Structure 1
């Protein structure tokens, strides 16, 4: 508070809490953690908050990392995008100032843009790195800061560690001296990204379509309601859907424009049914076939389908399976499915995708949770020539079909889902009809996720305790069915509980435990990397819908009781 450089608004915030030791501790007991997900936290004053100083400090760390890579890295520069959240544009400009003041070239989007477009821009502009100011689908009081490498991929452990070491060395973020934004713009250290990047991205999205002639002929046969949930998807999603030939696209008026308060929803997360309340009312008026919603930075997509007079949600596993099935079936029929095709999913995503891929002789690879690992696989395939990436997805509503982006991309997927829905509508089927056919062929795979928020110091301690209890005292069986093996990604070992045999896991170390039972059911426990949450994932498969539903309910109840979370 004694620092003369402290911004007035932040000073007033600290003034208001100066006699509240608990609040001071929450805000200052640690620095906001920087990792592979960058920074994410509540907006406000304090070292454990998102504010102009924590953004500057992180960017100083990144700047010093780039400076160590020499002149070429500085010339290649950094692309920066931001979403519709409070202070996002301001934080983006401050990050640009820090870099440009250090003679590092900056490419800045002039208006809010989706995260996948930043990933594309890094690759298109051949930048050395990228930054997105976003907190994805978090509640409105949050903002965040994500860093991308020169592949357009979110940074992974090694790069995050090196940047973090640089951040740690910055002792006085309040005293960082920066040049004026306007003068850096005039001197061309900062340049605005032109529309050429958007146009190139649109062309690449269009190239993903497998039945574009059908859209040209029958695009008017399908009615789509879309909501950007007050975020960045509004312009690009509408633009691309219209350009490829979908004319009956209606946007939920109350959620069309950017709003940092996300005032029509509790949290702008398309995984939650509540965010669709207005969209469902609107869809009934328009007699829409499908409803699509993107989160604020447009990297996640939620889809609802008309079933009779109502709208039913497809979860992330279901939509992923439908898209995969559609892509593989169409490419196979058209003779364009590569012989060395590979599909990539995360270890907590349904095994249904693997069953579908096997039918088409497509390899499945599993990665840790987080799309950055899927992006890494794409790079690995391209460099080695071992496989051709065909599709990547995770249960948390993230999907990617075109490798010109290296992060989950809801914008490109809205177009694929629209085409897929139109294709099946011509056969008199809804997406749920097709999903039922898939279940009948491969088995009724059913999954669920329980995500519990435990905030603050005490919450974090409880999360660690729950994970440790499963690691140190794993169950031998669940409801009479033996645990077959345990995968502990922290120690990197897979242990067969029946034979006692131990094998090494090839994935990076992560605080995740997965237990697989003899009947193919499994559950996974992990703390969230970006939010104060513990996440428990459950999966079962049987030959009937009713049996799978019953089994899933029992598995969930048993594990939650074990974790003292009932």
Structure 2
């Protein structure tokens, strides 16, 4: 029998042991056969053989059952072997399809105006699944290599390529497309994902990500019309004038555009800045430094590194408060007033504020609320505020921003689907109407903000400028950003926005997410726990009908439950959707209160937070019930981003962990603990400790005598 046929037979038998839909298995086998027999995949075969020989059936099927999809932010996911992984083939296939798409859409202009390619710091070093003693085309694969692999394809298709000389931020890519007059651009990054991930975000001629139906046209071109991948040696491409390296000249123009956002000359705040090992070193840091702010780099996280080694959990996400852990002692050492951080491609920003002797975290909604009020104040003071001014936000972003805009007599486009590309599209419409100067701010709850007309994707640098100005002014007044936010709440009402998720990995996870959404969509829901449901809104309904494309259907896969008001609330809502880029079911809970006397702030906040917490437990328990999962109450104390299966596995091993107390030798006890918690990845004790304390009354390490 053909050796590859033997491997396929083994894989088929292995897949038959999995509780998954048959079409997943048949599609995986078909793709597996292609990768084993087609010469273009020869470099991947040794690792495919290893995955089959080591019987990693779940992982193997997930690697091969589909071509990695295009979501709200483009293509991103695990680096690895197979069509459902990021690797040189999936990147080059995408680039070939994108080349064909651009040529069809723009003709000769696509070749002449070209594409801009930028990349961040990621490098794949994971050895858990693959054999170290066999050739591996994805080991040590970094963003630069992915960008160069794509450049080989674009230039082979006759398309001019502008490639950044070294790592740059996503917003500078967006700026560069507009600045250079290119027809498109690509960012090679996985944003704030784990170090095991990478990806490619595609941008249009306006510097924004593709919206429906154009993203679907690109997907169709890549998945249906790529019969062969053209490549050209980069030295030849350079010699032919098809590849141009860019750097300092574009940097200077970009940094000038960001600095022009200045609304105030206040400068007194001391900032510790953490780029979380990423590209903010080329954007946030130089622009604030040049503008005269007292900004200091965090020594622990200011080296470029795709391992994110000094970030807790190795998750370089400013939405996660633990990402500030290593920066805090360094900020204390210099007496910093605020800590700012950005994700590896520097489009998202996070901030900690020193307030009352403690560090206070502002989430993405709170930052957006602060920036909205600050901009309105400064525009009014400068005589620039009018009824034509516009704030743009997504639907899951705090509705308090709508309230602030309305009560200040300006417009708020507040019902956009999730994804900054929809904000960028509305900015394009304003520009087409000659109203670009009416735009004040674009904001989304996931720590993304844009001001000005120089880009079409969120930019941490612009937000950093406004936050630094405001913090400086407040410092001179003896106040902080927390005081400022509390004043907004007293004036308009406290709005508590809370994001959580049910993370469900792999092909089985996708099916379970679909099960939850289908149940919520198809069944009447009269109440969630003690909360009555006043209205259910399905974003699959409404205009346009029919949907523009499958990607439009995917983006509109959003359900909103509006709940009955309680005393002292203006509105209560739950919004749910599958993530477009990660394997998770996202849950946004918002409780908006009424205005209150500033002296009553503690009680006002507690009342709203209590409502949110009751609603969260009730709704998540409802969703777990849909999956047939009996989820322990203490499970809500585990690190919220853990996959559901890992949370359940922890409770399976918890008693075994507690029993380690009886192991006499401390070193042996520690080794066994590490072995039991290995499935949780980096910093496992921190991820489970609150749940352990709730049962055993002590932290895990203290209980085991290991602290």
With the shorter chain as reference, the TM-score category is: over 0.9
Counterpart position of 2:127: none
Counterpart position of 2:99: 63
Contact kept, 8 Å, 2:189 with 2:199, in 1: the verdict is yes
Counterpart position of 2:355: 307
**Cα distance, 1:4 vs. partner?**
4.5
Counterpart position of 2:150: 95
**Cα distance, 1:564 vs. partner?**
1.3
Segments of structure 1 that go 5 or more residues without pairing to the other structure are 495-503
Counterpart position of 2:206: 151
Q: Partner of 2:383: helix, strand, or coil?
A: coil
Contact kept, 8 Å, 2:157 with 2:230, in 1: the verdict is no
1:171-320 mapped onto 2 (5 Å cutoff): 176-212=229-265, 214=266, 219=267, 221-246=268-293, 248-265=294-311, 266=313, 267-320=315-368
**Cα distance, 1:235 vs. partner?**
2.8
Counterpart position of 1:406: 456
For the pair shown, the structure with the greater C-alpha radius of gyration is 2
Q: Which moved more, 1:389-398 or 1:164-173?
A: 164-173
Q: Partner of 2:262: helix, strand, or coil?
A: coil
Q: Partner of 1:486: helix, strand, or coil?
A: strand
RMSD: 2.0
Output the CA distance in 2 between the equivalents of 1:7 and 1:127. 35
**TM-score for both structures, normalised by structure 1:** 0.93
Which residue of the other structure, out of 477, 491, 508, is the alignment partner of 1:458?
508
Output the CA distance in 1 between the equivalents of 2:42 and 2:281. 33
Output the CA distance in 2 between the equivalents of 1:440 and 1:13. 60
Counterpart position of 2:60: 24
Q: Which moved more, 1:138-147 or 1:468-477?
A: 468-477
Output the CA distance in 2 between the equivalents of 1:390 and 1:106. 33
- For residues 7 and 297 of structure 1, do their structure 2 counterparts lie closer, same or farther at Cα, with a shift above 3 Å needed? farther
**TM-score for both structures, normalised by structure 2:** 0.75
Deviations 1:58-77 (A, max 9, x none): 00000011222311222111
Deviations 1:346-387 (A, max 9, x none): 111111111111222111112101000000000111213467
Counterpart position of 2:172: 117
Counterpart position of 2:78: 42
- For residues 481 and 559 of structure 1, do their structure 2 counterparts lie closer, same or farther at Cα, with a shift above 3 Å needed? closer
Contact kept, 8 Å, 2:96 with 2:230, in 1: the verdict is no
Output the CA distance in 2 between the equivalents of 1:181 and 1:5. 19
Contact kept, 8 Å, 1:109 with 1:193, in 2: the verdict is yes
Which residue of the other structure, out of 539, 544, 556, is the alignment partner of 2:590?
539
**Cα distance, 1:299 vs. partner?**
0.5
Contact kept, 8 Å, 1:305 with 1:313, in 2: the verdict is yes
**Cα distance, 1:481 vs. partner?**
4.8
Output the CA distance in 1 between the equivalents of 2:587 and 2:543. 20
Counterpart position of 1:498: none
Output the CA distance in 1 between the equivalents of 2:520 and 2:319. 27
Q: Which moved more, 1:179-188 or 1:57-66?
A: 179-188
Contact kept, 8 Å, 2:194 with 2:316, in 1: the verdict is yes
Counterpart position of 2:122: 85
Counterpart position of 2:408: 360
Contact kept, 8 Å, 1:348 with 1:369, in 2: the verdict is yes
Deviations 1:141-185 (A, max 9, x none): 000111000000101121111111111235666xx3422111111
Counterpart position of 2:642: none
Segments of structure 2 that go 5 or more residues without pairing to the other structure are 1-35, 124-141, 566-570, 595-603, 626-630, 632-707
